[in-house]
Amino acid sequence: MGATNNAAAEWRRFWFLPLVAALGYATSVLHVYSIGPFIAPLHQEFGWSRAQISAGITVSAIISGIFCIPIGMLVDRIGPRFVGLVGVLVMAAAFALLGTATGHTSNWLMLWAAVAVGTFWVQATVWTSAVASRFETSRGLAFALTLSGASVAATVFPMLATWLIGSYGWRTAFPAMAGIWAALVFPLLFLFFRGARDQGRLQRAAAASVARARAGVSFSEGLRSPALYKLLLASGLFSFTLIGALVHFVPILTDAGAVPLKAAGIASLIGIFSIVGRLGTGVLLDRFPGHRVGALAFLIPIIACALLLLDGANPISQSVAAAAFGLTVGSEVDVIAYLAAKHFGLKNFGALYGVLQMALACGTAFGPLAAGTVFDHYGSYAPFLMLTIALMAVSAVALFSLGLPPVQAAPVIAAHAGVPDQRDVL
């Protein structure tokens, strides 16, 4: 009963924060979920292979991955509000520049390096840090709602990109998408996105004594924890395989005979079902052991890959595969963020989650490139789908082996009314 009351109190006070944080997080995957519809027109315009086009994501993810830990430390130090507001504008500007591609590979990679700079400031650490500082009892569901921003992206971005390309051409589609998104998101973040560390000076001063007593491991202790490396393994293998498959999902369907707009429509099911996956996973994480919930979620893509391999030309199989991919894409970052907070606490959450973000970034860097290279070599995505089945099974085992998290030392909360409780302090 007490836990239910605490969860209700958290949502009454901060219900708006996960919603706006979700829009911020969607910005971080603008390039990932939008690039699929651009593959065909870029190939027609410049004659590039799919691996060459996908190399842009590789460059972006590698560069941004290097800075995951510093950005996490910055968020721990100054709070997520300033970082996120700057990030949305920088990311939108960098994505818009992709429309200036000249056809030279070096130019294409330089443009993606600019995208990497944009992703520094909008990575998941920024949005989850703010939410973690406001929610404790209902953190699983709050994380799920925040990270459903990627579900919104997977639903909206492929359709919007396909429509803009068809109506105005690919060069206009890049800046148009960036402008539309920034105009929608930035005002909402400016008005409503504040974590505990983003409050006024007097409120920070009142919270200082509690902040010093926050539960959690030190950064060095986290680096020595076996749990960190199990989460690293699961994160890296997941993003390598599933992000690779998702970036190429529209081409996978068109190669099987679907027309581009229909393929984009089926791909949008990934976003729709990822919302179901995220919210469902959030509810389950608040009620059942996180390592079991995560292991189960990471097994679901095996169904999708099997359907595409065995009956990939069937629209029903394609739709079910999209739904299965969506259910896991709707839970993976939620599971990793939730387990990181449980195993390491909030004391150095930004920095330690930044380490896990590096693994996710590395997988994102090489997964789409590997999928494109496999297609260029074999003329089929089948070998990559087989690899996805094997590696997702390994990821599930890694998560299941985590076991229950250690009990964090409870912070000493000042009894007088002027000091907020722990969930108000990141």
Place of tokens 């998101």: 185
More confident residue, 322 or 275: 322
Q: What is the pLDDT of residue 208?
A: 44
Query: What is the mean pLDDT of the segment spanning 265-271?
Result: 83
Rounded Cα–Cα distance for residues 82 and 60 (Å): 22
Q: How far is CA 103 from CA 50, 164, 310, in A?
A: 14, 20, 37
Task: State percent of the chain over pLDDT 70.
Answer: 90
Report the pLDDT averaged over residues 127-135: 88
Determine the pLDDT at residue 65.
Answer: 80
CATH of 22-197+217-403, one of 1.10.1530.10, 3.40.630.30, 3.40.190.10, 1.20.1250.20: 1.20.1250.20
Taking the CA atoms of the chain, what radius of gyration do you get in angstroms?
21
At 133 the three-state DSSP class reads helix
Of the listed ranges 43-47, 261-265, 375-379, the one predicted with least confidence: 261-265
Q: What is the pLDDT, as a whole number, of residue 1?
A: 52
For the segment 178-201, what is each residue's pLDDT rounded down to a tens digit? 999 999 999 999 999 988 777 654
Quick one: pLDDT band at residue 419, thresholds 50, 70, 90? Answer: very low
With a cut of 70, say whether residue 352 has pLDDT above it. yes
What was the pLDDT predicted at 328?
85
- Confidence (pTM): 0.71
- Would you say residue 425 has pLDDT above 70? no
Mean pLDDT highest for which of 103-117, 141-155, 278-292? Answer: 103-117
Residue 364 contacts residue 239 (beta carbons within 8 Å): yes
Distance of CA 180 to the CA centre of its chain: 21
pLDDT at 422 over 80: no
Mean of pLDDT values over 149-168: 87
Please give the average per-residue pLDDT across 127-149, as a whole number: 86
- Mean pLDDT for the chain overall: 84
Q: What's the rounded mean pLDDT across residues 155-179?
A: 93
Q: Which residues of 363-392 are buried (b: 16+ CB within 10 A; e: fewer)?
A: bbbbbbbbbbbbbeeeeebbebbebbbebb
Report the pLDDT value the prediction gives residue 420, as an integer from 0 to 100. Answer: 38
Q: What SS3 class is residue 345?
A: strand
Q: Which residue has the higher pLDDT, 27 or 410?
A: 27
Q: Where are the domains of the chain?
A: 22-197+217-403
Over residues 170-179, mean pLDDT: 96
Contact 279, 22 (CB under 8 A): no
pLDDT (0 to 100) of residue 309: 92
Q: Which pLDDT value is given to residue 409? A: 46
- What's 216's DSSP letter? B
> So what's the pLDDT on residue 426?
36
Provide mean pLDDT across the span 315-340.
Answer: 86
Please state the rounded mean pLDDT for residues 337-345: 86
